[in-house]
Structure 1
């Protein structure tokens, strides 16, 4: 008999304590590795003394697991690397490396990305041994690289850095989980040389990669988009999936069908177990001598592991594979009915192997959705059976069909509600019809197309005709599911854009969900419902009220490492997004639109009243388009240029369809003031006596405090810009990084002496400039954190975000 209370399921509190230890440094509660290990040893000694006296102490055990989690985070996020690790190689100049391709190449807008296991590098004294893995970013290559190929490349290394904006993605921690601590870029395709390699030098991956190549060649015979979908489902290659298809899957909440996750592996395990069990039941002799169900469970392990290897063994696939294998192990041990302990054990095993997996979205969505299924589905499905069928399984085909559909609908709703806050926080897009679309798409993709496709690959080495037959049969459900998803994505309000919820709002949502559907209805559950509603509605209303009643001007400059991007909040809550890109050629330096849009969602901005493009180039046009697509628009201002780029014309067409006013600043001046803030523009002509053209400088004047934003521009424009003379005088000046040290900057100080200079970029030489010889201005660099200037009744103030 199990003990009562928490000891009945010891794995659950122990896993939660371990997770708490991993998350503590993120919450600001951190100890050094030595302190964590020392405290853990003392706790272990105390546990030994308590155990010696014949007692159990759950509290000390939880503390021990918390300390183990804390030490694991420190050990994996900041490991001690050998001195010959690639992250210690020179990063200020191009160097030559030799290594083996460790991960298949993935296409990107300006070329390819692949991972290289480094073997050696060319130092001034000759070739030296080196270790570590590098993601290599290359321009377009004539021939892609394959796993196992040995390459020599001349690259420039860069340390892994985060964008220092509130709410930004932690790229350093994400790559640390993959044991990557530096990146490399290839300037020219000629800097990459393929070395001779034998299959033996490829290691154990050779046969697997050869079979994956054969599978890819076999799938090449299928027409699009069936080929792209089957490549994603079977071998984990999503490179051929078009943006239109991705958008359709995202808008209908079915994007998880494109990834090889727990859903697909679980379906393979279920189909394999059912098939093996059916075959074993054909023999009465076996049924009398062996446990057919356990033998079938052992047999299901082989397809699960094989599918994981065939899919490329990505971290998300490995995590899902471990989760399924742990559950199959519990089935063999006859402990699978305790679902909470099974889920806790799977999470604990995964996090012990890779502690930083806790912070990946795939891990969070998988376990939260399964937890939602375990907690919510029993509360809904039995009630449907009791209401319709008096708790009995109905008889007759149609009644059984309704019964199964009801259970499937309960599962879909439970998973959707459980993951809703995470989906909103990660994608800022919540599908409206996702429950219904998944109800149709999951059986078509996972239960029909996937098993038939894998069966085709199993038969491929034996009979091509049999493989063709199965892949043809699997194409029908695949194409049918895609048709359903494409049609649903076009329905009105198929997806709703939401800002990133705060921690308080996420806690309030789960409190409300648990209180509405408790294990047992008690008075405190109604109090939980009321508290959840008050916290959820109150937090949203409070933010809106504070925004409408603000009387301050606040301008935040983001760390965008290229384009100049600002969010200005004017008195009364009017929002103005200002963007300016540098003149570039080609697509290799296009901006990262998700930085600006992600920050706006994090700040819970729902409407942009003025989207202002001071200079529209290939560097910032994607940002302008992304902001217009994801937020409600008031007006669009631009400098008047016509950028020959498809994204620019897509932006103009979309604004026209939505009837958003567009203001050409070269022709029509903006309003002189907005909410008490004076607006002044500075635009010059590139030809004497010609009309204004080119980039526009923006000045905001509020309560006699002037803030000037200078966009990137060519040298000739910058020189003409100085003709405005003393009218440029401002207390705060935003300038591009390339302006510093130029003749333009020296001349500019003859017209103004700003108190604060905000440079969009990094300080030269790797150290901040704190004082210029001609001014006592305070210098801030956005690469060190987003900078916010505020003008209130008490005056001008400035602060810098510190992650």
Structure 2
């Protein structure tokens, strides 16, 4: 299915990735398993059809996209979901009902002022006067982030902006299945309020997935420290919650019924009941935190595992992994092109594969390995708890590092060591914080605040340490493919001279594809000048011969958007420049600094 989606939107994928997809299909074919080939072909056609239909679906004549205008209008819409709460406004997904009294359909994004957004919930129908309906637009830069396509993928075709004269009137409240979950989320959000704004922002991000108050500086610190995954509700958080609920309910059932109903408890019924409770909590948590790929993937996989426990069947990781991928791609085929999907699935896949193929042989000397584990790995036999967390941190980093470098141009160097300590802390903090957010307790919330402050202090200390991260220029998709090919060869091929030579050859080609672009840029004798759209005017970027760059008037008039971080830096990385040699500001206006 993934290969079919890649072919369906081939203009967004490099030829090497397409070739890799063809190779996978070819390998399935040469096994002479006709049933397997037919199954692969059907999934290929399904993926191709899903993305093609999504990209070529025509908008109805009364879609809100056709009502984009510079004139101010009156709009009636229903709040579909709360996307993110910020310091200055709250971002909502709204379903348009009418424009100037005319029936209209479609979805738009509305940035509601803080003074009117505090009590709004999904299902509320509002009437706004004196607003503008704008078309989503990207910056006019070649190769820049396509904001229009980003919103189109999510079914959003317009943006609604308000003015000082805008009047907001609540019309009615209609049914919305998201409303009760949003109420619970808001109550938790209110409980997670501390005097320290940074602690409040981190607690809300970790526990309920609301990252609206995370500052750009904090995001940079977590990214450089290699602990950014703690801010995104992912398999880590879902796993903590499911395990806590499952073992707590199971222990309670045994404690209450073991003596009275010995045969009933011995038959495994407490485990089945605990699995049901855990499934309900996991799915409710995933819905409450929003439609994120990482939480959806984790919820589906965990629910599949727990369902197997309830049915008394064996657990199959690869089956649960495939089910999660298929469900997400059927609902959102475009998600395969985004960093969240790639990081989530690659990290969990390589954690399990490395644990099976590399970690177990450390403890089982009779297992044959392609490469011998480092001598220090065997010391971890005597530290199984610490060793497991360290191994998971190492394997997750190895599985996601090239994708993180491809999308974010940074390689954290201390992330493995930091996560070895922070992940166990987070495994206790997440269920603890959520439980006591429902049951008010001053001392318990003080513990939550202390833990969140510890996580931030450790992250900040690591990010500010010398050589904490390595900034890289753009790397090619071929480099990412070669990296994973080398890892898979190392894990799945039986030791032999020929296969070791093949793996070494792949490693050499990988090193060449990574090192040649920056070296060629360093010896390039051409002067290059680019004029970059940063919103309010243009910025001038000068690429010096043989290294170095200068930026003139980088912009920055927005409250919640930094053009330097989001527009200029990616452009410099594409030119293999990771540092500036000069920064020029022609005058002190805000849109120039």
TM-score range, shorter chain: 0.7 to 0.9
Question: Does 1 or 2 have the higher relative contact order (CA < 8 Å, sep 6+)?
Answer: 2
3-state SS of paired residue (1:606): coil
Match of 2:472 in 1: 498
Residue 427 in structure 1 maps to residue 408 in structure 2: yes
3-state SS of paired residue (2:133): strand
Distance 1:578 1:16, change over 3 A: closer
Query: For residues 757-780 of structure 1, what are the alpha-carbon distances to aligned partners after superposition, in whole Å with 9 as ceiling and x for unaligned?
Result: xxxxxxxxxxxxxxxxxxxxxxxx
8 Å CA contact 2:489–2:503 kept in 1: the answer is yes
Decide which of 210, 213, 218 is 2:183's aligned counterpart.
210
The structure having more radius of gyration, on CA atoms, is 1
3-state SS of paired residue (1:195): strand
Decide which of 4, 24, 27 is 2:13's aligned counterpart.
27
8 Å CA contact 1:385–1:403 kept in 2: the answer is no
Q: Cα distance, 1:475 vs. partner? A: 4.0
Match of 1:533 in 2: 507
Match of 1:229 in 2: 202
Match of 2:107 in 1: 133
> Counterparts of 1:654-803 in structure 2 under 5 Å?
none
Decide which of 405, 415, 429 is 1:449's aligned counterpart.
429
Match of 2:487 in 1: 513
For 1:108 and 1:620, locate their aligned partners in 2 and report how far apart those are by CA, in whole Å: 25
3-state SS of paired residue (1:80): coil
Q: Cα distance, 1:532 vs. partner? A: 2.8
Residue 270 in structure 1 maps to residue 260 in structure 2: no
Match of 1:59 in 2: 37
8 Å CA contact 1:579–1:615 kept in 2: the answer is no
Match of 1:523 in 2: 497
For 1:617 and 1:305, locate their aligned partners in 2 and report how far apart those are by CA, in whole Å: 49
Residue 258 in structure 1 maps to residue 231 in structure 2: yes
For 2:135 and 2:524, locate their aligned partners in 1 and report how far apart those are by CA, in whole Å: 41
Match of 2:25 in 1: none
Show structure 1 runs of 5+ residues with no match: 1-14, 30-54, 389-397, 622-803
Residue 280 in structure 1 maps to residue 260 in structure 2: no
Decide which of 33, 50, 54 is 1:76's aligned counterpart.
54
3-state SS of paired residue (2:576): coil
Distance 1:589 1:140, change over 3 A: farther
Match of 2:591 in 1: 619
Distance 1:226 1:89, change over 3 A: same
Query: For residues 404-431 of structure 1, what are the alpha-carbon distances to aligned partners after superposition, in whole Å with 9 as ceiling and x for unaligned?
Result: 2222211111110110011112222221
For 1:495 and 1:297, locate their aligned partners in 2 and report how far apart those are by CA, in whole Å: 41
Decide which of 578, 581, 598 is 2:570's aligned counterpart.
598
Match of 2:132 in 1: 156
3-state SS of paired residue (2:245): helix
Query: For residues 468-496 of structure 1, what are the alpha-carbon distances to aligned partners after superposition, in whole Å with 9 as ceiling and x for unaligned?
Result: 45434444433333333233233222222
Q: Cα distance, 1:262 vs. partner? A: 1.7
Query: For residues 246-290 of structure 1, what are the alpha-carbon distances to aligned partners after superposition, in whole Å with 9 as ceiling and x for unaligned?
Result: 333222111111222221012211222222232333322322445
3-state SS of paired residue (1:98): strand
Q: Cα distance, 1:130 vs. partner? A: 1.3
Q: Cα distance, 1:182 vs. partner? A: 1.9
3-state SS of paired residue (2:82): strand
For 1:549 and 1:589, locate their aligned partners in 2 and report how far apart those are by CA, in whole Å: 34
3-state SS of paired residue (1:190): coil
8 Å CA contact 1:322–1:350 kept in 2: the answer is no
3-state SS of paired residue (1:174): helix
> Counterparts of 1:552-563 in structure 2 under 5 Å?
552-563=526-537
Query: For residues 486-525 of structure 1, what are the alpha-carbon distances to aligned partners after superposition, in whole Å with 9 as ceiling and x for unaligned?
Result: 3323322222212221112212322333344444223343
> Counterparts of 1:273-672 in structure 2 under 5 Å?
273-282=246-255, 283=258, 284-314=262-292, 316-332=294-310, 337-386=315-364, 402-445=383-426, 447-458=427-438, 460=439, 464=440, 467-468=441-442, 470-570=444-544, 572-580=545-553, 591=563, 593-614=565-586, 617-621=589-593
8 Å CA contact 1:305–1:321 kept in 2: the answer is yes
Distance 1:292 1:339, change over 3 A: same
Distance 1:599 1:145, change over 3 A: farther
Match of 2:144 in 1: 168
3-state SS of paired residue (1:439): helix
For 2:453 and 2:547, locate their aligned partners in 1 and report how far apart those are by CA, in whole Å: 46
Decide which of 160, 163, 180 is 2:156's aligned counterpart.
180
Residue 190 in structure 1 maps to residue 165 in structure 2: yes
Match of 1:91 in 2: 69
Query: For residues 93-144 of structure 1, what are the alpha-carbon distances to aligned partners after superposition, in whole Å with 9 as ceiling and x for unaligned?
Result: 222211133333745687553332211110xxxx111122211246665764
For 1:311 and 1:192, locate their aligned partners in 2 and report how far apart those are by CA, in whole Å: 30
Distance 1:532 1:290, change over 3 A: closer
Q: Cα distance, 1:441 vs. partner? A: 0.8
Distance 1:421 1:586, change over 3 A: closer
Distance 1:549 1:235, change over 3 A: closer
Q: Cα distance, 1:402 vs. partner? A: 0.9
Distance 1:109 1:539, change over 3 A: farther
Q: Which stretch has the larger CA shift, 595-604 or 609-618? A: 609-618
For 2:486 and 2:132, locate their aligned partners in 1 and report how far apart those are by CA, in whole Å: 51
Q: CA RMSD of the aligned region, Å? A: 3.4
Match of 1:246 in 2: 219
Identify the structure with the greater helix proportion.
2
3-state SS of paired residue (1:94): strand
For 1:24 and 1:387, locate their aligned partners in 2 and report how far apart those are by CA, in whole Å: 46
For 1:590 and 1:350, locate their aligned partners in 2 and report how far apart those are by CA, in whole Å: 31
For 1:136 and 1:449, locate their aligned partners in 2 and report how far apart those are by CA, in whole Å: 33
Show structure 2 runs of 5+ residues with no match: 16-32, 367-378
8 Å CA contact 2:85–2:212 kept in 1: the answer is yes
Q: Which stretch has the larger CA shift, 66-75 or 399-408? A: 399-408
For 2:310 and 2:169, locate their aligned partners in 1 and report how far apart those are by CA, in whole Å: 48
For 2:391 and 2:560, locate their aligned partners in 1 and report how far apart those are by CA, in whole Å: 47
Distance 1:90 1:403, change over 3 A: closer
Q: Cα distance, 1:356 vs. partner? A: 1.5
Match of 1:650 in 2: none
For 2:549 and 2:456, locate their aligned partners in 1 and report how far apart those are by CA, in whole Å: 39
For 2:88 and 2:185, locate their aligned partners in 1 and report how far apart those are by CA, in whole Å: 26
